[in-house]
Amino acid sequence: MKTSVNIGIVGLGRLGKRHAENLASRVPGAKLVAAVSPVPSEREWAQTNLGLTSIYDSLEALLSHPDLDAVWLVTPTSLHAEQIEIVLKAGKHVFCEKPLSLDLNTCDRVLSLAQDHPNQVAMIGFMRRFDAGYAAAKSRLSEGKLGTLYRIHCESHDPIDPDGFFVKFAPTSGGIFLDCCIHDIDLVRWMVDGSKPVRVFANGTRTQYPGLAACNDVDTANATVEFENGVLASFFVSRTSYRGYEATMDLTGTEGALRVGRNLQAVPLIEENNQQQHVSGLPDFFARFNDAFLIEAKAFVDTILTGKKSPLTLEDAREAAKIAIAMRDALESGQVINLN
């Protein structure tokens, strides 16, 4: 039986570098054998920081690497679907960052191709499922500790970014629902055991980044989703947090409630001066979900090595995209979107 998985990573940007460092030394069973970037400085970074000798400038070149088992895609969202298809056709397992695609027809095309490759793992990176807090909430729910679940409220706050990174990133990211809220959408689907969404409404505003108007995006938004099993879910998502990065979820049932992600500070220190208390917030999603990224990578490797069912399927990614697209449509039209 195989005991390790040879992985090539594609994309060494903001998140790709973090995944690469994890895969290079922190994930049991993972062997990072190659990396890809079209950008020379990123290839140099890989050579210096990962100690790799096999560094390519395209996915196609990577696929000829000897004994490659899997490809790990951390590329721009607009490339995900097509690159997953290329990897599956080459006979390799594939991990890809979220979202699968900004378009449902494209999601369906990838799902259909994946069905022709049933022995290859294809997983999308909804790493929050591997966070200790969200995973514990899911366990409590499954044990029936909340009675009947009827209400979920999620919040995702990105810190204010003085450089306006979001404005540059927004035209290709799919907007606040497909890029950011999609994590909470996936979690809610997981908590409601895949119950079907029935109606969706959303609204939003631009408070800090007027440049988002060019692509019809907002920096602060609310959305509501009613599920077939009666659960009412609400989502608040913003790029405008003064207190740093935060991701929380409150679940309420007939016999109790759970709160995920509260009271997490980067520094366990309260600084006091001038009759004020200062508590440090988390700087970014890496600080909040560092362990989840690692456990996610381990789950991908274990799925390949054991042949067990993947904890996250392309179908999950497709259904999350469907809800996010409905939220975007509701925001743009001002109408309730019926999904039946």
Binding site for ligand NAI (CB under 6 A): 10-16, 36-39, 42, 59, 74-77, 79, 97-98, 125, 127, 179, 285
Sign of the CA dihedral running 264, 15, 3, 43: negative
Q: What is d(CA 27, CA 299) in angstroms, rounded to the nearest whole number?
A: 10
Q: What is d(CA 313, CA 124) in angstroms, rounded to the nearest whole number?
A: 7
Q: Which is closer to ligand NAI, CB of 97 or CB of 302?
A: 97
Q: What is d(CA 315, CA 123) in angstroms, rounded to the nearest whole number?
A: 10
Q: Which is closer to ligand NAI, CB of 14 or CB of 243?
A: 14
Q: Which is closer to ligand NAI, CB of 162 or CB of 268?
A: 162
Least separation in angstroms between residue 9's CB and ligand NAI is: 10
Helix, strand, or coil here: 308?
coil
Q: Which is closer to ligand NAI, CB of 37 or CB of 238?
A: 37
Q: Which is closer to ligand NAI, CB of 42 or CB of 184?
A: 42
Least separation in angstroms between residue 255's CB and ligand NAI is: 32
Least separation in angstroms between residue 231's CB and ligand NAI is: 24
**Residue 248: partners with Cβ closer than 8 Å, 6 or more residues away:** 154, 155, 259, 260, 261, 262
| Beta-strand pair 246-253/256-260 | antiparallel
Q: Which is closer to ligand NAI, CB of 98 or CB of 239?
A: 98
Least separation in angstroms between residue 183's CB and ligand NAI is: 6
Pick the closest to residue 322 from 181, 216, 210 (CA basis): 181
Chain residue whose CB lies nearest ligand NAI:
13
Q: Which is closer to ligand NAI, CB of 42 or CB of 69?
A: 42
Least separation in angstroms between residue 251's CB and ligand NAI is: 21
CA distances in angstroms from 269 to 95, 266, 273, 277, listed in the order given: 37, 9, 13, 10
For residue 178, give the DSSP letter. Answer: I
Tell me which residue has tokens 């109606």.
199
Least separation in angstroms between residue 118's CB and ligand NAI is: 26
Q: Which is closer to ligand NAI, CB of 72 or CB of 201?
A: 72
Other Cβ atoms less than 10 A from the Cβ of 149: the count is 23
Other Cβ atoms less than 10 A from the Cβ of 46: the count is 25
Least separation in angstroms between residue 188's CB and ligand NAI is: 16
N- to C-terminal Cα separation, the chain: 46
For residue 245, give the DSSP letter. Answer: B
Q: What is d(CA 303, CA 322) in angstroms, rounded to the nearest whole number?
A: 26
Least separation in angstroms between residue 274's CB and ligand NAI is: 36
Q: Which is closer to ligand NAI, CB of 38 or CB of 164?
A: 38
> Helix axis angle, 16-25 relative to 40-50, nearest 10°?
30
Least separation in angstroms between residue 243's CB and ligand NAI is: 19
Tokens of 297: 């990578």
